[in-house]
Structure 1
Amino acid sequence: MIKKAPSGPKDGKIKVIVTGATGMVGEGVLYECLLSPAVESVLAIARRPIGVSHPKLTELVHSDLTDVSAVEQQLEGYDACYFCLGTTSVGMNEEQYTKVTYGITLHIAETVSRLNPGMVFCYVTAEGTDNTEKGRSMWARVKGKTENDLLKLPFKRAYMFRPGYIHPTPGLRNAHKFYKAITWLYPALRRLMPKHVITLRELGQAMIQATLKGSGQTVVDSRGMAALAQAYTAEKAGPFRG
């Protein structure tokens, strides 16, 4: 019999699952979790080794993320899941993109919600996501359906993080070439378009803060992420409050 995880941490710290740590966003979020005094431990799920060693970190390499039933017992006992796995729609038809973006996300989300009563789920989606599921943009419709169905799952809370431009964290390995190429523009972009620009560090901190203290927004744009990150920094990641 599988013993259900408790509904919240007893020691004021959180245990977190991170997906997508071999990509830019997941790597950055993982980095913030490892730095955070509020995070007790992290389970990183990936299809290949992530190449990171840290006392807080447990790595779960599983090649087929469309079916995690064989390893699901390793996914219980966690307070939050930061879902950062994603792919570009370039070169994909709608069926292919849906299989990755919707199929894997909902499979893992359904699994962790069942195993972890009281879990907070943070999903990295994208600015421009179409919650009506009827627009012209294929990727936006698929992301919208993913968001809509995630919000139906029995999580304690679920947040849809919709970044626009993400400024990479210096020193990390997996920054996309596009972001590296325009990083020099960041100060101007942040000043001129604060609603559409966020740092990867702020994104990670915002997820931790939303888990610890909640957020007034279910769908969080870049400005909302910045506010959560500012609160996180100001409070120095205080105790978990359920």
Structure 2
Amino acid sequence: MKAIVIGGTGMVGKQLLKQLTENDTYSEIISLVRRPSKLSHAKLKEEVIDFDRLNDYSGLINAEVLFSTLGTTIAQAKTKKAQFKVDYTYQLTVAEIAAANGISSYVLVSSAGASSSSALFYPNMKGKLDDAVRKLPFKVISILRPGQLDGIREEKRVTEKISLTVMYFLNRFGILKRYKPIQAHEVARAMINAAAQKESAIYTLSEVFDLAK
């Protein structure tokens, strides 16, 4: 089976690519990235592309499964407009091309609390993307809504580390368990297992943990 991955240089994306290369179900993995990574494997082909010209690369977006882990933070993007372009516009455009090319299965990493009716920017943006991709003609659409992601990042995020520490502490007392942190490798494993499902579904945090088993 052939897979397309976008967001392969991120924390979840790297774990996903690693697990896909170790999975006998997948014989070829195409990773579409904005910048080169350090990943190398016989089954992996990395394509550095301009995400502002995605239609120019439509021929590359052809496989059985599309995995989408693309995303950025407001700190990296600097503005909400720039973050929206990465987290919404790029992902939706790739999904639209994939659906038009006949890719049958689509797996998207969203976020806990995602809702297009939210008054908050981030969950509203994630919810709008979830709503938009669910209208596309994939045979199976899997949307994962994990809590805060934990794992090894290349860049240091002091605020994120503090937030994770606080969240783990609160979870010990049963507080905010809906947003319980989850390891990147667990999300990656859940994505691969989701791709094997026969029906579309939105997986909440507890279901993502179950799917990762």
The two structures have a TM-score, normalised by structure 2, of: 0.84
Partner of 2:181: 197
Q: 1:208 aligns with which of 189, 192, 196?
A: 192
The 1-side partners of 2:135 and 2:183 are apart by 29
Match of 1:177 in 2: 157
Which stretches in structure 2 are left out of the alignment for 5+ residues?
none
Tell me the CA shift for residue 176 of structure 1: 5.5
- Residue number among 136, 140, 143 corresponding to 1:153 in the alignment: 136
- 2:3 matches 1:16: yes
Match of 1:114 in 2: 100
Matched, 1:89 2:69: no
Partner AA of 1:100 in structure 2? V
Corresponding residue of 2:207:
224
Aligned length, in residue pairs: 207
CA contact (8 A) 1:167 1:199 kept: yes
What amino acid is the match of 1:163? P
The structure richer in helix per residue is: 2
Superposition RMSD in Å: 2.6
- The one-letter amino acid paired with 2:88 is Y
Unaligned runs of 5+ in 1: 1-13, 231-242
Alpha-carbon spacing, 1:136–1:20, altered in 2? closer, same or farther (3 Å): same
Q: Tell me whether 1:61 sits opposite 2:41 in the alignment.
A: no
Counterpart of 2:113 (choices 125, 128, 132) is: 128
- What percent identity do the matched residue pairs reach? 27
The offset of 1:57, in angstroms, is 0.2
Between 1:191-200 and 1:217-226, the stretch displaced more is 191-200
1:71 and 2:57 equivalent?
yes
Structure 1 residue 163 and structure 2 residue 150: aligned? Answer: no
Secondary structure at 1:16 match in 2: strand
In the superposition, relative to structure 1, how do residues 55 and 223 fare at CA in structure 2: closer, same or farther (>3 Å)? same
How far the C-alpha of 1:188 sits from its partner, in A, is: 6.7
TM-score by length of 1: 0.75
Distance 1:196 1:181, change over 3 A: closer
| 1:142/1:59 CA distance change after superposition, 3 Å | same
